Every structure is written in C-alpha cells, then in structure tokens.
Amino acid sequence: MEHTAGGGGSIVSAHLASSDIGNRRHQIFPILSEDQFEVLLRYGERRRFAAGEILFRQGDRHISMYVIISGTVEIERGGALGSAIMGTHGPGMFTGEMGTLAGRAAVATARVVSDCELIVIDEESLRTLVISEAALSETIMRAYILRRVAYMQDQTGGVVIFGARHSRATLILRHFLSRNGQPAAYFDLDQHQETAALMERFGVTAADIPAVVTLSGEVLRQPTVRQLADSIGLSPDNLDGRTFDLVVVGAGPAGLAAAVYAASEGLSVAVLDAKAPGGQAGSSSKIENYFGFPTGVSGQALAGRGLSQARKFGAEVAVPVSVSALNCEGHVFDISIDSGEKVGARSIVIATGARYRKPDLPELERYEGRGVYYSASFMEANFCANEEVVIVGGGNSAGQAAVFLSGHAKHVHIVVRADGLSASMSRYLIQRIEAAPNITLHVRKRIVELQGDDKLERICWQGEGDQVKVAPARHLFLFLGAEPNTAWLGDCVALDDKNFVLTGPDVGPDAGRARWPLERPRHFLETSHPRIFAVGDVRSGSVKRVAAAVGEGSAAVQSLHQALASDFPPEPPPA
C-alpha cells in the first residue's frame, strides 16, 4: 500500500508525535485567553451543549468554528478502512482548519464529551474575524495551516484507491488528490499483496479500476475527476447564475495573486481551475530563485500559501472547474463551465497558463501514464526508483525535474536539440546538473521512437546524421516549450500567431472583434476587449517565471479597479 499525502483537517495530538511538525503543537493547538474570548464574542455567540451532542459530522459543509470555554470535545475521523478517535479539544482550544474558511467538507466529526460552553462563529463571521483582528488572525491562520500540513502527513485517513501502475486513469486521479491536498491510501493490483482481499471486500473487480472508496464507504468505479471531487466534498457549491466583480480563470501563481489582491480590496472574486491550485509551477519539486525563499520552496507549498491567502480574504477558489466558453457580449460577461453552469463576471483575468507541447511521435498517447509523463512529482519518482529515465527539454522545469529525479533514479539522461542549456536554463540548475554524477546531457539530439507493448520499454533518440540509439529506459519526461490554454476564449480577445493573448501596446489598432470602443486608453495588461486582462504564461511576451507571474497578477488588479470604476460608476444616492 502507498499513501498519497494531501491536505485538510482538524487533526489532534494522537498522530502528531511521529510527524516532523510535532514540536509545533503549541501553534497547532494554541490555548486562547479570556481576553481573546471577549474579542471572539464580537463575531459569535456563547452557547451550551450537552454531552453526546454532535457539533458537526465528517463531510458536513459550511460548518462553524467552535471555541471551547469549558468542557471537552472529541474528534473522530472515519474512513473506508475504519475510524479512529484523534483526540480531544479542551478549554481555550478551537475547532477547524483551512477548509472551514472555504465552506468545504469537514474531515472529522466533533462530539461533545462533557457538557460544554462554546463560542460559535459561523463561516461568514469567521472570515470577517480573520480579516479584522490581526493578532487573533495570525494565531488562527497559523493553526489552520499547520493542521492541514499535519493532516497531509497522517496516513491513517483519506479515501482508498484501487488501481494499476501503468493505468493512465489511475495516475490522473492520484495526481488530482495529491495536488489538492487530499490523502489517499493506494492499493496496486500488481504490487501490493493485500489488494485482492480488499477489492473483494468492497466488491471491486479488475474491470472497475481505477476504483475509489470514499470516506462514507461508497464505491466509485472509474470516476471522472469531477465525480471524485463531488464525492469527497472538494468541489464548489453551486455557481450557476452567480455574478462576481472578478472571475479569474486559472489558479496558478498569476491567478492566485490576482485573487488575493482583488479580494483583499473588497471585490467579490471567483477563481476557476480545472485541476488544482498552483498551475504548472505547482508541480515543481523545488523553486529556488523565487524572492524571499533562500532555501527554496516546493511549487505545491507556494500554491498552498497563495490558496490560504485567497480564501482568507473571501475569494471562492473552485476546483475542478473547467471553463468551456466565454460570451463577451453585454456589460456582464457570461462564462460557461463544464458542469453546464454559467457564471457572470464584471471583469475577467485570464491566467490559464500554458501546457507542455507534445512532440510529434508515433503512438505517444498510447504510452501516456504508462511511461510518458509531463510532471516529476514524488509519485513519478517512486515509479522510476533505481531505473534509467530520459528527460526532454532545456528549460527550468526540465532542469528542476532532472535534479529531483537524480536523487531517485539510477541515471538521468537529458536530451535537447540545442547545443547546450545556457540559453534557456538558470545557471544554478546547470551547475547542479554538471555536478551530478548520474546526469548525462545529450545535445543536438531528438527522440524519434518509443517502443513497448502495453507500457513503455525503450526510448530511441538520434542526432543529425547519427545512428539511432536505443536506450532501455522505461520512463520519459517531456518538458517541451509551451502551448497556451486559450481555446475557450473564442474570438473575444486578440491572440498572436502562437495563440498567446495580446495585451496593452501589443494589441494592434485593428486587432480583435472591433476597434477599441472607449475613450480611456487600454491598460498595459488589458486585452483587446475592455475589462478582460491577461497575466502570466498565457500572455504574449510574458516572462516565464513565477515572480513575474505573481507581479502581473497583482498589477492587473490596480488596472481593473480603474476599469470597473469607469464602466460601472456608482449609482447616485436616492433623492
């Protein structure tokens, strides 16, 4: 059995001793003072509960935060493989985690053990509290974030996945849970002895995989990502018909930065993403050239911080939500999403980023998830332990993957068409690659063929005029260039010849559907259509770096404030 770590919950001391954050228990479970109770009572009400009462059940959404004045509350978390008492909260302690701020499903059940007097603070009041009370906000937010981290490290809970190592559908579900911080116990058909007995227990056959057993014991056979998200309470509430001041499409660094700044300034904000917060950067094992993190930060950790900030200020971050079309007629834009729902937006920030380009290789899709990968996480690293791997690409993502995988694989081969890496990769990564004894760079080469039966077994590459080299490598990682995710935009905004979004001075006088219709000039990050902005990798001419994306996301908010003020002037007070 393998465990996929994720995020989420109200865990207590029983499972912290073995984790590497166990020595921060005083921050995970701080004891509030009576003076702090007085502040909390401005946002909630004092209520009494009798022993045996349930405050909330695992899976409940939009739960309140409970602060214990007297008495004790027991926390129990159940799962498909059993349940466990996680511990108790006593006087001065409080319930909740980051999902509480977002109205997501509770990850445990809270039961009153002895008669309690509690301060009950509902979801909306809690958001007001963490914005308004700086000192208390720091205590609560730190505890909520650390509880989520501890929950990620706890391997006793979460859903159960039955799958196969060389099943692309299995890999997609596991990636989704991991990237969205949801723990899962994974049982492989071929690798784990206990799998057959467990599958028989839940009535799952080999034809059903990938199959998921939810915390309530429901069996999902070959579920879609959205079906899985709905079953575990991760998907958003009904969005149909709701209108926001700003809708950000894409939850990468640029999109999350825009959401944080806009929500913190009082705008109603929704962020829509098809996969997970963090975008392409979220899959990076370590980012070492981002300002303020001298020892580096993983892409998922950086995304988690951004997500926490956005939700702190009240932004609705909705995953997995795929945008299918944009109707830019009228004063309020209509955004169609894959569920059939429509969301209204007074302004839009396009932050859909770019995906890695697929090389023109025969039968490439046949091997995707069966030896061909587009990210290098711990999951893929486990697949290729002590084996040879091939990486194609000369950018920073490829360099980060090579350095990371070299700590797991027997040998890492980097294949590039160029003469070297200096034109496209940061110097610190080149130095790491040059110093690694198990990384070899192959210049002026290209992959020409993939070989294997039901999975990848051999990789063939060739240089100009050279003979084809056949490498017995069963793992190929592709980090080739970028293709923008702009198909959903239709003809609403002008694109360049590679389908990246044109903004500001790069928009020609005749670009887009019509000439610029307003007297005011176009803002630097504004597209050919008023009140639609583009930031990050999806923008034509952008610098493909995390810091630049964050800067653009925050800068766009200043401009859209001005755009909203001119296009939606405040109504005069009644006479």
Q: Is residue 516 part of a domain?
A: yes
Residues 275, 299, single domain; the answer is: yes
Question: What CA–CA distances, in Å, run from 153 to 9, 41, 78, 300?
Answer: 11, 33, 16, 14
Q: To the nearest whole percent, how much of the chain has pLDDT over 90?
A: 70
Residue 79 backbone dihedrals phi, psi, to 5 degrees: -160, 180
Q: Is residue 574 part of a domain?
A: no
Question: Residue 42 and residue 129: Cα distance in Å, rounded?
Answer: 9
**Among candidate residues 489, 488, 486, 509, the one with its CA nearest the CA of residue 498:** 486
Residue type, 556: A
The CB-based long-range contact list for 548-553 (8 Å cut-off, 24+ gap) reads: 549/252, 549/253, 549/254, 549/257, 549/281, 549/351, 550/253, 550/254, 550/257, 551/257, 552/254, 552/257, 552/525, 553/253, 553/254, 553/255, 553/256, 553/257, 553/258, 553/259, 553/261, 553/349, 553/351
CB 77 within 8 A of CB 57: no
Residues 301, 419, single domain; the answer is: no
* pLDDT at 328 (0 to 100): 94
* pLDDT at 11 (0 to 100): 31
Higher pLDDT, 112 or 298: 112
Q: Is residue 237 part of a domain?
A: no
* pLDDT at 10 (0 to 100): 33
Q: Is residue 572 part of a domain?
A: no
CB 477 within 8 A of CB 405: yes
Residues 440, 467, single domain; the answer is: yes
Q: To the nearest whole percent, how much of the chain has pLDDT over 70?
A: 93
Residues 142, 60, single domain; the answer is: yes
Who's near 466: CB < 8 A, 6+ residues apart? Answer: 445
- Rg value, the chain, Cα: 25
Question: Residue 267 and residue 345: Cα distance in Å, rounded?
Answer: 11
Any idea which of 41-55, 275-289, 541-555 has the lowest mean pLDDT?
275-289
The CB-based long-range contact list for 186-194 (8 Å cut-off, 24+ gap) reads: 186/1, 186/2, 186/3, 186/4, 186/160, 186/161, 187/1, 187/160, 187/161, 187/162, 187/163, 188/2, 188/163, 188/164, 189/162, 189/163, 189/164, 190/164, 190/165, 191/165, 192/1, 192/2, 194/1
Q: Spell 361-378 as b/e; 16+ CB within 10 A means b.
A: beeeebbbbbbbbbbbbe
* pLDDT at 482 (0 to 100): 81
CB 431 within 8 A of CB 414: no
User: Residues 335-361: what's their mean pLDDT?
Assistant: 94
Residues 143, 44, single domain; the answer is: yes
**Among candidate residues 31, 256, 36, the one with its CA nearest the CA of residue 129:** 36
Task: Provide the token pair at 408.
Answer: 């797991």
Q: Is residue 573 part of a domain?
A: no
Would you place residue 519 in the very low, low, confident or very high pLDDT band (cuts 50, 70, 90)? confident
- Bridge partners of 48, per DSSP, are 117
- Bridge partners of 373, per DSSP, are 477
Burial class of residue 33 in the structure, from the number of CB atoms within 10 Å of its CB (0-12 exposed, 13-18 middle, 19+ buried): exposed
Would you place residue 284 in the very low, low, confident or very high pLDDT band (cuts 50, 70, 90)? confident
Who's near 202: CB < 8 A, 6+ residues apart? Answer: 80, 160, 162, 211, 213, 219
Residues 179, 279, single domain; the answer is: no
Residues 135, 25, single domain; the answer is: yes
Question: Residue 6 and residue 159: Cα distance in Å, rounded?
Answer: 11
CATH number of the domain enclosing 146: 2.60.120.10
For Cα atoms 495, 501, 506, give the angle at the middle one, nearest 5 degrees: 80
CATH number of the domain enclosing 199: 3.40.30.10
Q: Helix, strand or coil for residue 358?
A: coil
- The β-bridge relationship of strands 388-392 and 316-318 is unpaired
For Cα atoms 543, 546, 550, give the angle at the middle one, nearest 5 degrees: 95
First-to-final CA distance of the chain: 70
Q: Is residue 238 part of a domain?
A: no
User: Residues 290-304: what's their mean pLDDT?
Assistant: 89
Of 134, 153, 172, which closes a domain? 153
Q: Is residue 466 part of a domain?
A: yes
* Axis crossing angle, helix 123-132 with helix 299-312, rounded to the nearest 10: 100
pLDDT beyond 80 at 49? yes
Who's near 14: CB < 8 A, 6+ residues apart? Answer: 84, 85, 86, 87
Of 120, 153, 186, which closes a domain? 153
Burial class of residue 443 in the structure, from the number of CB atoms within 10 Å of its CB (0-12 exposed, 13-18 middle, 19+ buried): middle
Question: H helices within 232-318, ranges in order?
Answer: 253-264, 299-312
Chain-centroid distance of CA 275 in Å reads 7
Residues 372, 505, single domain; the answer is: no
For Cα atoms 229, 75, 23, give the angle at the middle one, nearest 5 degrees: 95
Would you place residue 4 in the very low, low, confident or very high pLDDT band (cuts 50, 70, 90)? very low
Residue 205 backbone dihedrals phi, psi, to 5 degrees: -115, 170
- pTM summary value: 0.90
Would you place residue 573 in the very low, low, confident or very high pLDDT band (cuts 50, 70, 90)? low
pLDDT beyond 90 at 342? yes
Would you place residue 575 in the very low, low, confident or very high pLDDT band (cuts 50, 70, 90)? low
Domain span at residue 419? 364-478
- Averaged pLDDT score across all residues of the chain: 90
Residues 217, 251, single domain; the answer is: no
Who's near 506: CB < 8 A, 6+ residues apart? Answer: 496, 540, 541
User: Residues 370-398: what's their mean pLDDT?
Assistant: 93
Residues 112, 56, single domain; the answer is: yes
**Tens digit of pLDDT for each residue in 482-501?**
899 999 999 999 999 999 99
Residues 496, 561, single domain; the answer is: yes
In the chain, the number of structural domains is 4
Q: Is residue 45 part of a domain?
A: yes
CATH number of the domain enclosing 286: 3.50.50.60
H/E stretch holding 375 reads: none
* pLDDT at 335 (0 to 100): 98
Q: Helix, strand or coil for residue 385?
A: coil
Residues 177, 144, single domain; the answer is: no
DSSP state of 256: H
Question: Residue 112 and residue 351: Cα distance in Å, rounded?
Answer: 45
pLDDT beyond 70 at 157? no
Determine the length of the chain. Answer: 575
Would you place residue 512 in the very low, low, confident or very high pLDDT band (cuts 50, 70, 90)? low
pLDDT beyond 50 at 16? no
Any idea which of 20-34, 177-191, 529-543 has the lowest mean pLDDT?
20-34
Q: Where does residue 318 fall: left (phi above 0), alpha (psi -120 to 50 degrees), or beta otherwise?
A: beta
Any idea which of 240-244, 383-387, 405-409, 570-574 has the lowest mean pLDDT?
570-574
pLDDT beyond 70 at 241? yes
Of 153, 180, 210, which closes a domain? 153
For Cα atoms 468, 472, 476, give the angle at the middle one, nearest 5 degrees: 90
Question: H helices within 224-293, ranges in order?
Answer: 225-231, 253-264
Question: Residue 106 and residue 334: Cα distance in Å, rounded?
Answer: 32
- The β-bridge relationship of strands 109-121 and 54-56 is antiparallel
* pLDDT at 15 (0 to 100): 40
H/E stretch holding 374 reads: none
Any idea which of 83-92, 263-272, 455-464 has the lowest mean pLDDT?
83-92
